[in-house]
Amino acid sequence: MAVIDILIGLALLYGLIRGMWKGLFAELAALLSLALGLYAAIKFSGYMGNWLNGVFGWEDKYIKIAAFILTFAIVVVVVTVMGRVFTKMAGLVMMGWLNRLLGGLFGLIKWALIVSVLLNFFVQMNSSNALADEATLQKSVFFYPVLKVSQTLYPVLEEWVADFKDTAAEPDTEEGPADEKPIEGLDRSV
Protein backbone atom coordinates (compact mmCIF):
# COMPACT_ATOMS: atom_id res chain seq x y z
CA MET A 1 0.00 0.00 0.00
CA ALA A 2 1.42 3.36 -1.06
CA VAL A 3 1.72 6.44 1.13
CA ILE A 4 -0.98 8.12 -0.96
CA ASP A 5 -3.36 5.26 -0.10
CA ILE A 6 -2.66 5.68 3.60
CA LEU A 7 -3.31 9.43 3.43
CA ILE A 8 -6.53 9.03 1.43
CA GLY A 9 -7.66 6.15 3.63
CA LEU A 10 -7.06 8.17 6.80
CA ALA A 11 -9.05 11.12 5.41
CA LEU A 12 -11.96 8.83 4.48
CA LEU A 13 -11.82 7.08 7.85
CA TYR A 14 -11.83 10.46 9.58
CA GLY A 15 -14.95 11.46 7.62
CA LEU A 16 -16.69 8.19 8.49
CA ILE A 17 -15.87 8.35 12.21
CA ARG A 18 -16.64 12.05 12.54
CA GLY A 19 -19.93 11.57 10.71
CA MET A 20 -20.90 8.66 12.95
CA TRP A 21 -19.94 10.66 16.03
CA LYS A 22 -21.93 13.75 15.05
CA GLY A 23 -24.84 12.07 13.27
CA LEU A 24 -26.57 12.92 10.01
CA PHE A 25 -28.54 15.90 11.28
CA ALA A 26 -25.47 17.60 12.74
CA GLU A 27 -23.44 16.85 9.58
CA LEU A 28 -26.18 18.24 7.34
CA ALA A 29 -26.64 21.25 9.62
CA ALA A 30 -22.92 22.03 9.41
CA LEU A 31 -22.97 21.93 5.62
CA LEU A 32 -26.29 23.75 5.29
CA SER A 33 -25.36 26.41 7.83
CA LEU A 34 -22.34 27.40 5.77
CA ALA A 35 -24.23 27.43 2.46
CA LEU A 36 -27.36 29.14 3.83
CA GLY A 37 -25.27 31.54 5.92
CA LEU A 38 -23.34 32.72 2.87
CA TYR A 39 -26.50 32.96 0.78
CA ALA A 40 -28.38 34.91 3.46
CA ALA A 41 -25.41 37.19 4.12
CA ILE A 42 -25.10 38.00 0.42
CA LYS A 43 -28.83 38.44 -0.20
CA PHE A 44 -30.14 39.90 3.07
CA SER A 45 -27.29 41.73 4.79
CA GLY A 46 -28.74 44.97 3.37
CA TYR A 47 -31.70 44.65 5.73
CA MET A 48 -29.39 44.03 8.65
CA GLY A 49 -27.29 46.99 7.51
CA ASN A 50 -30.31 49.29 7.54
CA TRP A 51 -31.17 48.15 11.05
CA LEU A 52 -27.58 48.54 12.28
CA ASN A 53 -27.36 51.98 10.70
CA GLY A 54 -30.53 53.03 12.51
CA VAL A 55 -29.27 51.71 15.84
CA PHE A 56 -25.58 52.66 15.74
CA GLY A 57 -25.19 55.19 12.91
CA TRP A 58 -21.76 53.88 11.91
CA GLU A 59 -19.98 54.64 8.65
CA ASP A 60 -21.22 52.73 5.60
CA LYS A 61 -18.09 50.61 5.17
CA TYR A 62 -18.33 49.36 8.77
CA ILE A 63 -22.08 48.78 8.53
CA LYS A 64 -21.66 46.58 5.44
CA ILE A 65 -19.00 44.41 7.06
CA ALA A 66 -20.86 44.12 10.37
CA ALA A 67 -24.17 43.37 8.60
CA PHE A 68 -22.58 40.62 6.51
CA ILE A 69 -20.88 38.99 9.50
CA LEU A 70 -23.93 39.31 11.77
CA THR A 71 -26.34 37.92 9.15
CA PHE A 72 -24.00 35.01 8.45
CA ALA A 73 -23.52 34.27 12.16
CA ILE A 74 -27.26 34.36 12.94
CA VAL A 75 -28.08 31.90 10.15
CA VAL A 76 -25.22 29.57 11.13
CA VAL A 77 -26.34 29.54 14.77
CA VAL A 78 -30.02 28.96 13.91
CA VAL A 79 -29.30 26.09 11.50
CA THR A 80 -26.80 24.51 13.90
CA VAL A 81 -29.30 24.64 16.76
CA MET A 82 -31.95 23.09 14.51
CA GLY A 83 -29.53 20.28 13.67
CA ARG A 84 -28.96 19.63 17.37
CA VAL A 85 -32.70 19.63 18.04
CA PHE A 86 -33.28 17.08 15.27
CA THR A 87 -30.40 14.97 16.60
CA LYS A 88 -31.97 14.97 20.09
CA MET A 89 -35.38 14.12 18.61
CA ALA A 90 -33.86 11.20 16.70
CA GLY A 91 -32.38 9.92 19.96
CA LEU A 92 -35.73 10.25 21.73
CA VAL A 93 -37.59 8.17 19.15
CA MET A 94 -34.90 5.48 19.24
CA MET A 95 -33.55 6.43 15.81
CA GLY A 96 -30.17 7.58 17.10
CA TRP A 97 -28.45 4.54 15.60
CA LEU A 98 -29.88 5.39 12.15
CA ASN A 99 -28.86 9.04 12.57
CA ARG A 100 -25.30 7.94 13.39
CA LEU A 101 -25.15 5.35 10.60
CA LEU A 102 -26.37 7.83 7.98
CA GLY A 103 -24.08 10.48 9.49
CA GLY A 104 -21.12 8.16 8.95
CA LEU A 105 -22.15 7.56 5.34
CA PHE A 106 -22.66 11.28 4.75
CA GLY A 107 -19.31 12.10 6.40
CA LEU A 108 -17.56 9.51 4.24
CA ILE A 109 -19.11 10.92 1.06
CA LYS A 110 -18.34 14.50 2.10
CA TRP A 111 -14.69 13.69 2.77
CA ALA A 112 -14.45 11.65 -0.44
CA LEU A 113 -15.59 14.75 -2.30
CA ILE A 114 -13.14 17.01 -0.44
CA VAL A 115 -10.24 14.61 -1.08
CA SER A 116 -11.34 14.22 -4.70
CA VAL A 117 -11.17 17.97 -5.28
CA LEU A 118 -7.71 18.06 -3.68
CA LEU A 119 -6.59 15.12 -5.84
CA ASN A 120 -7.78 16.94 -8.97
CA PHE A 121 -5.59 19.89 -7.98
CA PHE A 122 -2.75 17.43 -7.31
CA VAL A 123 -3.13 15.94 -10.81
CA GLN A 124 -2.89 19.43 -12.33
CA MET A 125 0.26 20.20 -10.33
CA ASN A 126 1.76 16.77 -11.06
CA SER A 127 1.44 16.96 -14.86
CA SER A 128 5.19 16.38 -15.28
CA ASN A 129 5.20 13.59 -12.64
CA ALA A 130 7.45 15.70 -10.40
CA LEU A 131 5.48 14.96 -7.22
CA ALA A 132 4.54 11.33 -7.88
CA ASP A 133 5.29 9.04 -10.80
CA GLU A 134 2.50 7.46 -12.84
CA ALA A 135 3.40 3.91 -11.75
CA THR A 136 2.84 4.79 -8.08
CA LEU A 137 -0.53 6.34 -8.87
CA GLN A 138 -1.54 3.32 -11.00
CA LYS A 139 -0.75 0.94 -8.11
CA SER A 140 -2.76 3.02 -5.67
CA VAL A 141 -5.98 1.43 -4.42
CA PHE A 142 -7.79 4.69 -3.60
CA PHE A 143 -6.29 7.32 -5.94
CA TYR A 144 -8.30 6.86 -9.14
CA PRO A 145 -11.63 5.81 -7.58
CA VAL A 146 -11.61 8.81 -5.22
CA LEU A 147 -10.33 11.10 -8.00
CA LYS A 148 -13.44 10.25 -10.05
CA VAL A 149 -15.88 11.23 -7.26
CA SER A 150 -15.82 14.95 -8.07
CA GLN A 151 -15.64 14.29 -11.81
CA THR A 152 -18.84 12.24 -11.49
CA LEU A 153 -20.65 14.46 -9.00
CA TYR A 154 -20.09 17.88 -10.58
CA PRO A 155 -21.92 17.14 -13.87
CA VAL A 156 -24.88 15.78 -11.87
CA LEU A 157 -24.95 18.92 -9.70
CA GLU A 158 -24.67 21.15 -12.77
CA GLU A 159 -27.65 19.33 -14.31
CA TRP A 160 -29.69 19.75 -11.12
CA VAL A 161 -28.89 23.47 -10.97
CA ALA A 162 -29.82 23.90 -14.64
CA ASP A 163 -33.11 22.04 -14.10
CA PHE A 164 -33.84 24.17 -11.03
CA LYS A 165 -33.15 27.38 -12.97
CA ASP A 166 -35.40 26.21 -15.82
CA THR A 167 -38.21 25.36 -13.39
CA ALA A 168 -37.82 28.65 -11.53
CA ALA A 169 -37.84 30.59 -14.81
CA GLU A 170 -41.15 29.13 -16.00
CA PRO A 171 -43.86 31.79 -15.76
CA ASP A 172 -46.82 31.34 -13.45
CA THR A 173 -50.29 31.32 -14.98
CA GLU A 174 -53.68 32.25 -13.53
CA GLU A 175 -54.16 28.65 -12.47
CA GLY A 176 -50.87 28.52 -10.56
CA PRO A 177 -47.26 27.66 -11.28
CA ALA A 178 -46.51 26.49 -14.83
CA ASP A 179 -45.73 22.90 -13.86
CA GLU A 180 -48.83 22.53 -11.69
CA LYS A 181 -51.86 21.00 -13.39
CA PRO A 182 -55.24 22.38 -12.25
CA ILE A 183 -57.37 19.97 -10.25
CA GLU A 184 -60.80 19.33 -11.74
CA GLY A 185 -63.58 21.01 -9.75
CA LEU A 186 -61.22 23.05 -7.54
CA ASP A 187 -62.39 26.60 -6.96
CA ARG A 188 -59.27 28.80 -6.96
CA SER A 189 -61.19 32.02 -6.36
CA VAL A 190 -61.13 31.55 -2.58
- H-state helical runs in 57-95: 60-92
Give residue limits of the domains in the chain.
3-112
Burial (CB count <10 Å: 0-12, 13-18, 19+), residue 138: exposed
Q: Give pLDDT, residue 94.
A: 73
Q: Give pLDDT, residue 188.
A: 44
Position 73 pLDDT exceeds 80? yes
Tell me the C-alpha to C-alpha distance, in Å, between residue 45 and each of 69, 89, 130, 132, 151. 8, 32, 46, 46, 34
User: What's the whole-model pTM score?
Assistant: 0.59
How many residues are recorded in the chain? 190
Residues 6+ positions from 21 with CB-CB distance below 8 Å: 100, 103
**Model confidence at 148, in pLDDT bands (50, 70, 90)?**
confident
Q: Give pLDDT, residue 178.
A: 47
Q: Give pLDDT, residue 165.
A: 62
> What b/e sequence results for 49-58 when a residue is b if at least 16 CB atoms lie within 10 Å of its CB, and e otherwise?
beebbeeeee
Q: Give pLDDT, residue 57.
A: 80
In angstroms, the CA 45 to CA 127 distance is 43
